[in-house]
Amino acid sequence: MDFEDTPEEAAFRHEVTAWLAEQAAEYDLSRHGDITMEQQLALGRAFQARKAERGYAKVTWPKKLGGMGGTPMQAVIYDQEEEQYDLPTVFFAISLGMPIPVMRRFATEEQQQRYLAPALRGEEIWCQLFSEPSAGSDLGGIRLRATRDGEDWVLNGQKIWTSWAHISDFGVIITRTDPSVPKHRGMTYFFVDMKSPGVEVRPIKQAAGGGEFCEVFFTDVRIPDTARLGEVNGGWQVAIATLMEERFAVTEAAGGGASLEDTVRFLRSEFDDGESAMNDPRVRDKIADWYVAESGINNFYARLLTGLSQGQLPGPEAALSKLVIASKLQQQSSSLMDMCGPAGAVYPDHSVSRATDHRMAWLEAAGYRIAGGTDEILRNTIAERVLGLPGDIRVDKDVPFEKLA
């Protein structure tokens, strides 16, 4: 396969590069020093609005839905160029990576007209309400109940590890609607206004210092049946579609942290002993491994985008890319921390860009190996659905949920 830019792609790259350089002068976080999350969010909304105006918020989406009607390779090019800057896009990664593509697929045309464009412009933010204290890797174990009451549904229960719930306007949520059938058959999928009475959001303070993960409690929260996505008790199929989008989104983001180019630049600098780490053949060996993994993922990502442009949906193959990229991020950031020794745990006096921060990447890397399915779950998915190997024995597969311990 030839991954050199065609003349058309080179022209698009030039256009994007010039536009991003102009925007970075105003929105790159490295130019703003120490600012609050609220200030970062305000910058992010302003940048997202400009991005959507150009169609860059969803390059491959048709123009009538707020995209630019571009090709998969144009989407790759835009992502590659945007990664060169520390732009305030993190607040919209979940929103545009998972809930909004699912809304495009399952919502009515009227709902799409109402919700897609404001999300692309950053005016409204969406979260994904999946995990619960008793249901993480086994999403089929969710207990949050949705009970039918006339034309409404009433939600009661708890979700946890919900990214950006405290700043979200809406969320997509998977619920238990029929506990008398096996666990995967009694689930229904909705979207919910996060400002509804009875919704309580509590941010969780993290070891890395952030607080984007949240607990969310639902107490007699009423939502209309028109907020249902998919069939009653057919929520598992919608949830699987969301997880495929999530694994694709993790691949798309490449996990954050320093790029390979930034890592090499860092390792070329002199350490405390006056030597460059690049003089060590063991370091060069690691860099070669990371380069091979990164190149493979970039090419695989291009194939995924090509499939999407032809109407295909992210399938189980997305598990492979997510598995590799999350592991590579953890290995790369851990190696850099080891090379730095005790100094690796100390932040310098000057501001550090999140895009080049191996310390933050090291703290967050384990989370990428959990989000969208743990390594173990993904290996099972690849074995069963890609390689066609026999599945695990699941003794609870046909047992009514209410009879499970």
Q: Are residues 25 and 135 in the same domain?
A: no
Establish if 262 belongs to a structural domain.
yes
Residues 258 and 382 in one domain: yes
Assess if residue 120 is contained within a domain.
Answer: no
Shared-domain flag, residues 141 and 24: no
225 and 269 in a single domain? The answer is no
Instruction: State whether 222 and 260 are in the same domain.
Output: no
Q: Does residue 247 fall inside a structural domain?
A: no
Q: Please indicate, yes or no, if residue 121 is contained in any of the structural domains.
A: no
Tokens of 385: 């659905």
Per-residue model confidence (pLDDT) at position 5: 77
**CA-based nearest residue to 6, from 102, 58, 95, 74:** 74
Full residue range of the structural domain in which residue 174 is found: 126-238
What six digits make up the tokens of 127?
């979260």
Residue 393 lies in a domain: no
For residues 178 and 299, state if they share a domain: no
Query: At 156, is the secondary structure helix, strand, or coil?
Result: strand
Residue 27 lies inside a defined structural domain of this protein: yes
Helix, coil or strand: residue 163: strand
Q: Residue 288 in contact with residue 277, Cβ under 8 Å?
A: no
- Per-position DSSP letters for 63-107, written without gaps between them: GGGTS----HHHHHHHHHHHTTS--S-GGGHHHHHTHHHHHHHHS
My answer on whether 197 and 229 are in the same domain is yes
CB 144 within 8 A of CB 175: yes
CA neighbor of 194 nearest in space, from 62, 95, 101, 269:
95
Q: Are residues 222 and 319 in the same domain?
A: no
Q: How many domains does the chain have?
A: 3
Residues 224 and 267 in one domain: no
How would DSSP label each residue in 179-244?
Answer: TTSBTTTSEEEEEEETTSTTEEEEE---TTS---EEEEEEEEEEEEGGGEES-TT-HHHHHHHHHH
Evaluate if pTM is beyond 0.85: no
Domain at 324, CATH number: 1.20.140.10
The answer on 372 and 266 residing in a single domain is yes
Alpha carbon distance, N-terminus to C-terminus of the chain? 52
pLDDT along the chain (405 residues), means of 10: 73 96 94 89 97 95 92 84 91 93 94 96 97 85 95 97 96 96 94 98 82 94 97 93 67 56 78 73 89 81 68 68 82 84 65 61 78 82 86 82 80
In this structure, the answer to whether residues 380 and 343 fall within a common structural domain is yes
Query: Same domain, yes or no, for 273 and 381?
Result: yes
> Would you say residue 182 lies in a domain?
yes
Query: Whole-angstrom Cα distance, residue 377 to residue 370?
Result: 9
* Residues ≥6 apart with Cβ < 8 Å to 194: 127, 165, 168, 169, 170, 171, 201
